[in-house]
Amino acid sequence: MLHSIRLFLRKDITANSIIVLALLVAILASATSIVNFLVFQADAIGNLVNPSETIIVSCGSSLTESNLSPKIVGELENLSYVRALVPQKLVWANITGESGSFHAIVRGVQDVEGYLCSYRAYLNGSIAKGSFEACAGELAAKAFNLKVGEGLDIMYLGHLVRVRVVGVFRTGCELDSELILPIEVVKELTGGDETISMVEVHLKHGVSLRDALNDISRRLPSGVNVFQAQQLKAFIQQVNLQTVNFLNVWSTMIYFVVAVASYLISTRLVEESCYELALLKALGAENKIILSLILSYTCTVSTSASILGVSLGLAGAQAASTALSWTNVLAQITPKLDPMQALQIICLTLASSVFGCIYPAYKASRTRYEEKIL
Amino acid sequence: MSLLPFKYLRLRRVLALALLVALSSMLFSTTAFTLVGYYRGFNIYLGEGEDIVAVYDRGSRTPFTGIVPAYLTEAVSRLDGVVAVSPEVIIPCAVRGQPAFLRGIVPDNFLKLNPLTILDGRMFGEQDLNSAIVGVRLAKKLNIKLGDKVLVTGVLVNAWLELKVEGIFYSNSPADDEIVAPLHVGQWLRGLDYNQVTLIRAKVDRRLVSKTSIYEAIAREALEQTQPSGGGRKPSQPTIVPWTRISFHAEDIGVEEAQRFMEGYMERYGVTRESIITLSTIIFLLSSTTIAFSTRTLIVQHERELEVLRSIGSSKKLLKKDMIIKLLPITLASSIAGIAATIVFLNTIIGQGYLQILSHTLTFQPDPTVIALTIILSIALVTASVLKQKL
């Protein structure tokens, strides 16, 4: 009985219906192909910059409130791909100098000299080595009038440590706003708290950053944050996600139009095929056969339309981008559509069409054609 | 003969057409509103109006990646007619792991160009080296509160730092999705020297100074730096580390109205307001084939009624005229309903923070051109569809 679908397919309405749905799908396919290009471009820009080989291990939402067990250093130091580990302790402390009090970050590291060297610091004075010595960043020194040789009282949660500024350095990074001390002094400042705030993990050259991140995350307890210091890829991925979200919201509207168009197609099919439907009923077709026929017709039309639409959309986007490149050399757009995305568009169009045609098909299957004027 | 008293069109059948007109109008207005909103938001990113001028790096392919000598701030501010000058570093970064943009600024200079309303807390001061104020939308999105310490990581360079939130602000501008910090924080995250910024913005009195005269002053600075006598003037110090003269070529620096400067970046890639509306119209026309199809379906559904009317003497012309008269109010209402639905829909999803481009919330204003075009196109399509039908 399903061969009777040919009765419907031969009608004029079929070509019109395919064109109507194909044009809707073409809008979707072209928009998706252009968004794909934008996403691809963003990813390509991300790949141009070599990712840094530094991983940060901390916990909590900020570095100064992070408390990591020092055992973590032991967990990491024997990893074959690790070049260097720099455990650090950071606190926001109240500092009193000759020119008054201020609030600044105090950073404790094991080897102040090595640490500043790794940041290619310019130093005026000497390196803090002893328990009562500190190096001040240039911005901190200028903002709070700190001088080499000046004594400072550092206060943190009721604990006081007295140090002397032995050097002022410039690194051109966040260290310039801080005081750097040997880590033991900072531990003393926090009342003998042995925990650390973070560990800078420097990888050996050529090591896969992603593999290292995964491996370190796996080894450390849950609740410990392991992240890349330079988050270019993550940034681009999330910005791309925002663009794709926009496309998804917009696509939903097109699928609504497809569903309504499908409703109209099946309504008109039923109106124009009264004679054929009455004949089929007279020949003994049951309601479900009529329902299946109309559903099959819609599926055939929407599948053909979506395949045609995807092709039209891609061709249209390519033609438009070629035309654009003639007028604007910077606008070199290469639309692209993955097979999976094409399949997704076809499937969603099919689903929307079926959804749209259910009511007219059901109504047609229940109609008593012997009572209808043909 | 008038057919107006004959109510032969069944409302239920007309509803499908009305729904399609509403959906097509929605599709068109959503596309146009969002894209025009994005375009407008991007254009006014650095300031609206002709009195805001940007000094920028001509070689940069984005507004965020240029490098301009910071000391030119002084050269520009010395000109008569320059009301305020703000050196800035605008930089993508990750705040609490989420993408965001950070503006490194000099507070006093910036506030003269962009007045901010501090909703909670205060503006950071000169001694707040590791502090920031957060835009109200970003604060809501990332659940940032006053006094929080946020971890900011670099995108373009290897950098991570902690900033203390001193305030939450509202500006009714794209800055509401950003974090604003001292200039040096932006320089750290961009990997710039303390003598470099991304761009310099100036508020000018156009009666006294033009962009040409600003450029001439910059060109003079480029020449002076090669002459030993150039170091005579002592610059004032809006930043902790005083700016020093650095070598640059005048031809690498551009001066343009801020809005025009941003438009220029979009135009380089073929994006203009006109191209966006044309694109939206093409989308509408493609989707509107369904309207033509729907009109035909409506006529097929009313074939018998139309035949009766023809048999009692109605001409085809009269029938078409009558149908147009009867369908026009419905088309108009559907189109307006589609636009209204778009406004409600966009406001809802934007309010929920779903629609963001480049980490900035899409702000849209119902564009009168788009509204008028939607209604005109809908009416024209339905009229044309009825006229071309064979009765």
A332 neighbourhood in chain B, CB within 8 Å: none
Please list, in sequence order, all residues whose beta carbon lies within 8 angstroms of the beta carbon of residue A46, skipping any fewer than 6 positions away: A232, A233, A236
Answer yes or no: do A148 and A202 share one domain.
yes
Distance, CA of A196 to CA of A188 (rounded, Å): 12
- Domain limits, chain B: 11-43+272-387, 72-245
CB proximity under 8 Å: A 199-218 to B:
none
Is the pLDDT at B232 greater than 60? The verdict is no
pLDDT grade, residue A372 (50/70/90)? Answer: low
Interface predicted TM-score of the whole assembly (ipTM), two decimals: 0.80
Compare CB distances from B158 to A54, A331, A373 and report the shortest one's residue.
A54
- CB pair distance less than 8 Å for B130 and A104: yes
Residue A136 buriedness (CB in 10 A; 0-12 / 13-18 / 19+): buried
Contact B335, B374 (CB under 8 A): yes
User: Nearest 5°: CA angle at A72, between A68 and A76?
Assistant: 140
List, in sequence order, the alpha helices (H) in chain B.
Answer: 11-43, 72-77, 107-113, 136-142, 183-190, 211-224, 258-268, 273-287, 289-301, 303-311, 316-351, 368-387
Q: What is the pLDDT of residues B89-122, one digit of tens each?
A: 999 999 998 899 999 999 999 999 988 999 999 9
Last residue of a domain, one of A208, A229, A250: A229
Most A CBs within 10 A among B64, B285, B286, hence the mutation to make, goes to: B286
Last residue of a domain, one of A184, A210, A229: A229
pLDDT grade, residue A329 (50/70/90)? Answer: low
Answer yes or no: do A78 and A16 share one domain.
no
Compare CB distances from B162 to A64, A235, A256 and report the shortest one's residue.
A64
Among the ranges given (A330-334, B211-215, B282-286), the one the predictor scored with the smallest mean pLDDT? A330-334
How much is the mean pLDDT over chain B? 87
- CB pair distance less than 8 Å for B187 and A245: no
Question: What would the two tokens of residue A88 be?
Answer: 């650090």
Q: For residue B304, what is the nearest residue in chain A, using CA coordinates? A: A373
- CB pair distance less than 8 Å for B16 and A261: no
Give the per-residue pLDDT at B230: 43
| Å between A266 CA and nearest CA of chain B | 10
Please list, in sequence order, all residues whose beta carbon lies within 8 angstroms of the beta carbon of residue A140, skipping any fewer than 6 positions away: A104, A146, A176, A177, A178, A179, B129
CB proximity under 8 Å: B 135-194 to A:
148-151, 153-162, 164, 184-185, 187-188, 191, 193-194
- CB pair distance less than 8 Å for B155 and A231: yes
Give the per-residue pLDDT at B231: 45
| Å between B190 CA and nearest CA of chain A | 10
Give the per-residue pLDDT at B34: 86
Residue that the structure tokens 């639905």 belong to = B341
Most B CBs within 10 A among A94, A198, A253, A322, hence the mutation to make, goes to: A253
Angular region, A145: left φ>0, alpha ψ -120 to 50, beta rest: left
Strand-pair category, A133-137 with A100-109: unpaired
Q: Is A8 on the interface with B (CB under 8 A)?
A: no
Is the pLDDT at B233 greater than 70? The verdict is no
CB proximity under 8 Å: A 284-323 to B:
none
Answer yes or no: do A204 and A112 share one domain.
yes
Most B CBs within 10 A among A232, A233, A269, hence the mutation to make, goes to: A232
Give the per-residue pLDDT at B304: 85
Nearest C-alpha neighbor of B79 from the set B226, B227, B212: B212
Q: Is B355 on the interface with A (CB under 8 A)?
A: yes
Over residues A288-302, the mean pLDDT reads 91
Q: Is A195 on the interface with B (CB under 8 A)?
A: no
- Neighbouring C-alpha atoms within 13 Å toward the C-beta of A6: 3
pLDDT grade, residue B229 (50/70/90)? Answer: very low
Answer yes or no: do A215 and A243 share one domain.
no
Size of interface A-B (CB pairs under 8 A): 189
Question: What residue type is assigned to position A269 of the chain?
Answer: L
How many angstroms separate the Cα of B315 from the Cα of each of B9, B312, B324, B325?
17, 9, 14, 15
List, in sequence order, the alpha helices (H) in chain A.
Answer: 5-9, 12-48, 71-77, 112-118, 138-143, 183-189, 209-219, 232-272, 274-282, 287-327, 339-366
Query: 3-state class of B23 per DSSP?
Result: helix
Angular region, B359: left φ>0, alpha ψ -120 to 50, beta rest: left
- CB pair distance less than 8 Å for A231 and B97: yes
CB proximity under 8 Å: B 314-353 to A:
349
Over residues A347-360, the mean pLDDT reads 95
Most A CBs within 10 A among B137, B155, B346, B359, hence the mutation to make, goes to: B155
Q: Is B19 on the interface with A (CB under 8 A)?
A: yes
CB proximity under 8 Å: B 21-60 to A:
23-24, 26-27, 30-31, 34
CB proximity under 8 Å: A 38-97 to B:
49, 52, 54, 56, 58, 61-65, 90, 92
CA dihedral B140, B183, B174, B69 (to 10 degrees): -160
More confidently predicted of A95 and A374: A95
A67 neighbourhood in chain B, CB within 8 Å: none
A64 neighbourhood in chain B, CB within 8 Å: 149, 162
pLDDT grade, residue B37 (50/70/90)? Answer: confident
Over residues B229-243, the mean pLDDT reads 61
| Å between A3 CA and nearest CA of chain B | 25
Q: Is A118 on the interface with B (CB under 8 A)?
A: no
| Å between B357 CA and nearest CA of chain A | 6
Q: For residue B292, what is the nearest residue in chain A, using CA coordinates? A: A20
Contact B93, B189 (CB under 8 A): yes
More confidently predicted of A12 and B223: B223
Over residues B307-319, the mean pLDDT reads 87
Nearest C-alpha neighbor of A270 from the set A352, A353, A355, A374: A374
Answer yes or no: do A167 and A84 share one domain.
yes
B359 neighbourhood in chain A, CB within 8 Å: 238-239, 242
Is the pLDDT at A315 greater than 50? The verdict is yes
Please list, in sequence order, all residues whose beta carbon lies within 8 angstroms of the beta carbon of residue A226, skipping any fewer than 6 positions away: A55, A56, A57, A213, A216, A217, A220
Domain that holds residue A148: 54-229
DSSP state of A99: T
- CB pair distance less than 8 Å for B149 and A65: yes
A243 neighbourhood in chain B, CB within 8 Å: 357
Contact A146, A196 (CB under 8 A): no
pLDDT grade, residue B225 (50/70/90)? Answer: low
**CA-based R_g, chain B, Å:** 29
Most B CBs within 10 A among A260, A353, A372, hence the mutation to make, goes to: A260
Over residues A56-77, the mean pLDDT reads 90
Is the pLDDT at A332 greater than 50? The verdict is yes
How many angstroms separate the Cα of B151 from the Cα of each of A11, A86, A156, A225, B137?
65, 18, 21, 12, 18
Q: Which helix (H) or strand (E) holds A133?
A: strand A133-137
Please list, in sequence order, all residues whose beta carbon lies within 8 angstroms of the beta carbon of residue A136, skipping any fewer than 6 positions away: A146, A165, A167, A168, A169, A179, A180
A330 neighbourhood in chain B, CB within 8 Å: 268-270
The terminus-to-terminus CA distance of chain B in angstroms comes to 18
Over residues A2-23, the mean pLDDT reads 81
Is the pLDDT at A49 greater than 80? The verdict is no
Contact A25, A349 (CB under 8 A): yes
Compare CB distances from B26 to A17, A27, A253 and report the shortest one's residue.
A253
Indicate the number of domains in chain A: 2
Q: Is A227 on the interface with B (CB under 8 A)?
A: yes
Distance, CA of A346 to CA of A299 (rounded, Å): 11
pLDDT grade, residue A46 (50/70/90)? Answer: confident
Answer yes or no: do A202 and A70 share one domain.
yes
Answer yes or no: do A206 and A248 share one domain.
no
Is the pLDDT at A369 greater than 70? The verdict is no
Answer yes or no: do A255 and A271 share one domain.
yes
Q: What is the pLDDT of residues B121-142, one digit of tens each?
A: 999 998 899 999 999 999 999 9
Strand-pair category, B117-121 with B160-170: antiparallel
Distance, CA of A265 to CA of A297 (rounded, Å): 10
| Å between A285 CA and nearest CA of chain B | 24
- CB pair distance less than 8 Å for A254 and B293: no
Residue A149 buriedness (CB in 10 A; 0-12 / 13-18 / 19+): exposed
Angular region, A100: left φ>0, alpha ψ -120 to 50, beta rest: left
How many angstroms separate the Cα of B135 from the Cα of each of B38, B141, B258, B355?
18, 10, 21, 17
Over residues B24-43, the mean pLDDT reads 85
Q: Is A275 on the interface with B (CB under 8 A)?
A: no
- CB pair distance less than 8 Å for B162 and A105: yes
Q: Is B126 on the interface with A (CB under 8 A)?
A: yes
CB proximity under 8 Å: B 229-258 to A:
240-241
How many angstroms separate the Cα of B374 from the Cα of each of B25, B209, B366?
6, 43, 12
Over residues B183-199, the mean pLDDT reads 94
Distance, CA of A213 to CA of B207 (rounded, Å): 58
Over residues A23-49, the mean pLDDT reads 84
Answer yes or no: do A61 and A160 share one domain.
yes
